[in-house]
Structure 1
Amino acid sequence: MDVANQLVAQGQFRVLKVPLGFIKVLEWFFAIFAFSTCGSYSGMFKMAVECKNRTDSDLGVEVQFEYPFRLHQVYFDAPTCTDGSKERVFLVGDYSSSAEFFVTIGVFAFLYSTAALAIYIFFYEKYKENNKGPLIDLGVTGVFAFMWLVSSAAWAKGLSDVKTATNPDEVVTMIKACEEKIHRCHEVHDPVMSGLNTSVAFGFINLILWLGNLWFVFKETGIIAPFMRAPPPQDKPAPDAYGQQGAYEQDPYASSQGGYQPEYNQQGYNQEAEYGQGYGQQGAPTSYSNQM
């Protein structure tokens, strides 16, 4: 039974239980998770700069950064360990392009999934009319599957660069006071990246969902229907001549004549004929003696 018949038999809202609608619901949820975990991220890390003169030290240099990760605009003030003055230090890198591209794909995927679910539930007959709806759905689904692949791969690379640029061990090397061995610099708190790692995982999960949904949308187009017809019934093999008629056929005249039919032994001789010939041979001398 196809999706249309199932919806008629079970009600339109039951579209959420068939693969076409159920996977679309999963796409809707995971698209939200993908762009929200990335777009709402804000992180922080701390460093400590211990100067030779303790009064110039700063044990809580805090650096905050957030989406869209234009790190070259993020700065902090670090002690110079001379006369209590401080210097302004900027982070390195701009990773907004990959992050914003990933979030944009997630938002548009969410919007399209919402619209597709509304059409499945309330306008499914219009969706199937002239087969235009499934064909458009197939094309858009293929585009989103490709976009999830590109954006997830780009954001995975961008996240790797963000982790490097916000690593406190790397950042302290940009502080001039830390270049002198008489001062001691070290990290205090690493940034928590679990949310960003989850966003990358959600991106590839969306890729799998949209690729899998291509098959179910393709089935709705009906393109594959002519190739899925049942094969024609095969002709029954002709009955075996020996199986149908037996090894030997009876004489067709035997059944019509009610007379006695002679039997033949294994050598094919007529036993009665043998007995008749023997009787005739024995009777000949008798008749001859009578004549004498």
Structure 2
Amino acid sequence: MCMVIFAPIFAICAFATCGGYYGHLQVKVDCADRRQGNLSINIDFGYPFRLQQVHFKAPLCETRREEVVFLDGDFSTAAQFFVTVGVFAFLYSLLATVVYVFYQNKYRKNNRGPLVDFVVTVIFSLVWLVSSCCWAKALSEIKTATNPTQVLLLIAACRARENRCAATQEPLWSRLHTSAVFGFVNLVLWSGNIWFVFKETGWYKTGQRYPTRSASGKRSSEMRQRLYSESSFDQPEESFGPYRGDSFNQPSGDFSKQVQRQASINQSQVRFSLPQTYLGKNGLNERENNVVTQGPTIFVNEM
């Protein structure tokens, strides 16, 4: 919404203050011989600031003739580039406003609208940066080229010490300063809008689909796992036996079969034998002859 409201306004202010500028400089030449005195010379210049084409007539104090003097410098490239960027930014802002308001569904269809808007916003941000810097540098050079002291040096009569020359009116630069300021304001506005346009694209949504776990989240998950493991050790011992709680929910017939099956397995694995009893010395001799016994042996001595 910020771009919809302020972008067209700032774009108009940028190219209007630069493209509609008109400067006026007035100097006075007073010759020493009084042949030609108090002559006022008006020098007018403006957009696109081709100062080498700006000329005026200055008197020659030695004779009654006049000379044609041209200013120095051509700053049309930077000025026209700045104005062109402002005009295109204004037109695109109007087009984007119409699309946002009346064609919102088509704007979001297949995610093409946000991607195009993102690319164009980045391009305009870079272009505003270049054009504003170029125009600020050109403005400084224009002020130097139209400085009254610099202009008076171009007049031959003013280079003579006996003649008197002065500037009676200097150009106002506030309008051009405002245009340079609006250029950088547009740069900040378009650069700040990059983030909001990026959020509308699918790239931002893809990055938010799988968020990274923070350190606090990892610590909380580890704490939950630790609490879960501690709670599992606090359960009664019957839960760790061969039969779980869900086995008691089975029918009684199945449970008896399972117990019999388990008992048969244990009998097959381990063979128990009853203890054998030996009386007297014969039992001792037989025990010595048998190397392997199958169970515990009890010996009873004769009285």
> For each residue in 1:62-102, what CA deviation from the matched residue of structure 2 results, as whole angstroms up to 9, or x when unmatched?
10001000111111111111343211111111111110010
CA distance in 2: counterparts of 1:26 and 1:152, whole angstroms: 18
Residue matched to 1:49: 29
> For each residue in 1:125-183, what CA deviation from the matched residue of structure 2 results, as whole angstroms up to 9, or x when unmatched?
10000000000111111111111111111111111111111111101001111111110
Residue matched to 1:266: none
Residue matched to 2:58: 78
User: Do 2:3 and 2:93's aligned partners in 1 also have CA atoms closer than 8 Å?
Assistant: no
Residue matched to 1:12: none
Q: Return the offset for 1:237.
A: 4.2
TM-aligned CA distance change 1:101 to 1:241, over 3 Å: closer
**Is structure 2 residue 4 aligned with structure 1 residue 24?**
yes
Root mean square deviation of aligned Cα: 2.3
The one-letter code of the counterpart of 2:38 is D
Pick from 147, 162, 177 the counterpart of residue 197 of structure 1: 177
CA distance in 1: counterparts of 2:172 and 2:121, whole angstroms: 34
> What secondary structure is seen at the aligned counterpart in 2 of 1:56?
coil
Give the TM-score, by structure 1 length.
0.72
CA distance in 1: counterparts of 2:4 and 2:230, whole angstroms: 61
User: Do 1:69 and 1:99's aligned partners in 2 also have CA atoms closer than 8 Å?
Assistant: yes
CA distance in 2: counterparts of 1:32 and 1:47, whole angstroms: 34
**Is structure 2 residue 153 aligned with structure 1 residue 176?**
no
Residue matched to 1:107: 87
Larger Rg: 2
Pick from 215, 235, 238 the counterpart of residue 195 of structure 2: 215
Residue matched to 1:258: none
Q: Which runs of 5+ in 1 are unaligned?
A: 1-20, 246-292
> For each residue in 1:30-70, what CA deviation from the matched residue of structure 2 results, as whole angstroms up to 9, or x when unmatched?
10000000000000011111101234023421100010001
Give the TM-score, by structure 2 length.
0.70
User: Do 2:125 and 2:190's aligned partners in 1 also have CA atoms closer than 8 Å?
Assistant: yes
Q: Return the offset for 1:231.
A: 6.6
Residue matched to 2:133: 153
Q: Which runs of 5+ in 2 are unaligned?
A: 235-303
Pick from 152, 162, 170 the counterpart of residue 142 of structure 2: 162
CA distance in 2: counterparts of 1:204 and 1:55, whole angstroms: 52
**Is structure 2 residue 111 aligned with structure 1 residue 131?**
yes
> What secondary structure is seen at the aligned counterpart in 1 of 2:81?
helix
The one-letter code of the counterpart of 2:95 is A
Residue matched to 1:122: 102
> What secondary structure is seen at the aligned counterpart in 1 of 2:203?
coil
Residue matched to 1:262: none
Task: Map residues 247-262 of structure 1 onto 2, 5 A cutoff.
Answer: none
Aligned length: 227
The one-letter code of the counterpart of 1:140 is V
User: Do 1:57 and 1:79's aligned partners in 2 also have CA atoms closer than 8 Å?
Assistant: no
Pick from 40, 52, 63 the counterpart of residue 60 of structure 1: 40
